[in-house]
Amino acid sequence: MRTQIAIIGAGPAGLLLGHLLHRAGIDTIIIERQSADYVLGRIRAGVIEQEAAELLDASGLGKRMHAEGLVHHGIELAFDGDTYRVDFKKLIGKHVVVYGQTEVTRDLMEAREGFGGQSVYSAANVAIHDIDGASPSITYEKDGVTHTVECDYIAGCDGYHGVSRKSVSKSAITEFERVYPFGWLGLLVDQPPVTEEIHYAHHERGFALCSLRSPSRARYYVQVENGEKVEDWSDERFWDELRARLDPEIAGNLKTGPSLEKSIAPLRSFVAEPLRFGRLFLAGDAAHIVPPTGAKGLNLAIGDVKLLSEAMIEHYADKSEASLGVYSEKALERIWKAERFSWWMTSFLHTFPETGPFGRRIQRADFEYLIGSTAAQQSLAENYVGLPFA
């Protein structure tokens, strides 16, 4: 098989890259380790930045997002019971769209099927070859047969645990990492969300988040220590812990029910530099991870793919290497700003083992500063709704 761009991974990064390149007449093959159903079953991000939503819209992917997505003009921050609303619309005239990653993925998969784009699911032992030469390739196994895809370039969109980044020699890559001493236990429930907007709560017992996927489907999280097992968290235990971390009035309005899904996600900040190795480019979680507190993971993947697709389109149209040559540098500039914001939101709102009385007073001072300063709120708002794409 031969294609122009071989894409590894059918998450949002890989599928969107395939979509944007197809619209420019560039051929792609997507190779994914899991089945399509498995990819669609993963419950992950739910907040789309305004500019990312506009990009999806402009690429012909906005129909269902417009019909089912919820435009949010602010978020709520609660600190030991005191609640403050950060009003994005008033502060900077922008918004975010609440629309699940699962739905974005479904829209992308359907669009790809619609234009007849080639995707290989359940591909085993994916391996990358000859990225430093002029003819790179990918091999994979399917139904006991080894296949080869020859290509001009490889896009590594295979997430944090993928093969792309691991194929690069250790001396060529620098990795920056911070692992947090806690994770998020998330529960999805078919009940109306307890708050209209996303509600971030700092509490001495640990952070809690009231989020949503639709007017009838809520997603809640509580901070848990690393090493906790999801089997030890019955739904009842989860609801009790969530109520204990919320303002009593909000807790009283919480509508509970059997969990549709419950899982623990570890929290990590991670960046790999650079993002280009010969004819291999990294994008999305393959290159960086943020803790979900700032709602940036999916949006960063979309930002990378926008830049990378534009560089590839320019390359094929003008036979120019210029934008491909600066992809890594340009993408990393925005990535590090989102890393900083996600780290700050995490540090501000979570309880760390070392926080202690001094740390708690500093976090409280952060909250007081924020609610008393329009400039501080504008800073939070412009980072949350998303810094401009390069």
Ligand X SMILES: Cc1cc2nc3c(=O)[nH]c(=O)nc-3n(C[C@H](O)[C@H](O)[C@H](O)COP(=O)(O)OP(=O)(O)OC[C@H]3O[C@@H](n4cnc5c(N)ncnc54)[C@H](O)[C@@H]3O)c2cc1C
Which letter, b or e, does each residue of 97-117 get, where b requires 16 or more Cβ atoms within 10 Å of its Cβ? Answer: bbbbbbbbbbbbbebbeeeeb
292 is a catalytic site residue: yes
Residue 30 within binding range of ligand X, rule CB under 6 A: no
What is the token pair recorded at 60? 């012909």
Sole window of 288-296, 310-318, 352-360, 370-378 interacting with ligand X (rule: CB under 6 A): 288-296
Residue 6 within binding range of ligand X, rule CB under 6 A: no
| Cα 249 to Cα 82, 83, 188, 244, 285, distances in angstroms | 11, 11, 21, 11, 38
Write down the least CB distance from residue 302 to ligand X, Å: 9
Residue 171: which residues within 8 A CB-CB, separation 6 or more?
none
Write down the least CB distance from residue 46 to ligand X, Å: 6
Q: Report the site for ligand X in 51-80 (rule: CB under 6 A).
A: none
Residue 33 within binding range of ligand X, rule CB under 6 A: yes
| Cα 93 to Cα 73, 170, 199, 342, 371, distances in angstroms | 8, 44, 20, 22, 18
With residue 107 as reference, give the H or E element that holds it.
helix 101-115
The radius of gyration of the chain's CA atoms, rounded to the nearest angstrom, is 21
Looking at beta carbons only, is 52 or 91 nearer to ligand X?
Answer: 52
One residue of 4, 23, 34, 139 binding ligand X per CB under 6 A: 34
Write down the least CB distance from residue 12 to ligand X, Å: 4
Active-site residue, selected from the candidate residues 203, 296, 306, 350: 296
**What spatial distance separates the first Cα and last Cα of the chain, rounded to whole Å?**
34
E-strand stretches of the chain = 5-8, 28-31, 47-49, 70-72, 74-79, 82-87, 96-98, 118-120, 124-129, 137-142, 145-150, 153-156, 174-189, 199-202, 208-214, 217-225, 261-273, 276-277, 280-282, 288-289
Site string for ligand X, 95-134 (x = CB under 6 A): ------x---------------------x--x--------
Question: What are the helix and strand counts (H, E) for the chain?
Answer: 12, 20
Number of residues near ligand X (by CB under 6 A): 33
Q: Within a 13 Å sphere around the CA of 32, how many CA atoms are in the beta-carbon half?
A: 22
- The closest alpha carbon to 296, from 267, 264, 274, 260, belongs to 267
Separation of alpha carbons 151 and 4, rounded Å: 5
221 is a catalytic site residue: no
Q: Report the site for ligand X in 151-180 (rule: CB under 6 A).
A: 157-159, 161-163
Site string for ligand X, 252-271 (x = CB under 6 A): -------------x------
Looking at beta carbons only, is 344 or 364 nearer to ligand X?
Answer: 344
Write down the least CB distance from residue 290 to ligand X, Å: 7
Active-site residue, selected from the candidate residues 73, 153, 292, 306: 292
Q: Report the site for ligand X in 291-330 (rule: CB under 6 A).
A: 292, 295-298, 301
Looking at beta carbons only, is 74 or 186 nearer to ligand X?
Answer: 186
Site string for ligand X, 337-366 (x = CB under 6 A): ------------------------------
220 is a catalytic site residue: no
Write down the least CB distance from residue 162 to ligand X, Å: 4
Residues that bind ligand X (CB under 6 A): 8-14, 31-34, 39, 44-46, 101, 123, 126, 157-159, 161-163, 265, 284-285, 292, 295-298, 301
The residues annotated with a catalytic role in the active site are: 72, 200, 292, 296, 384
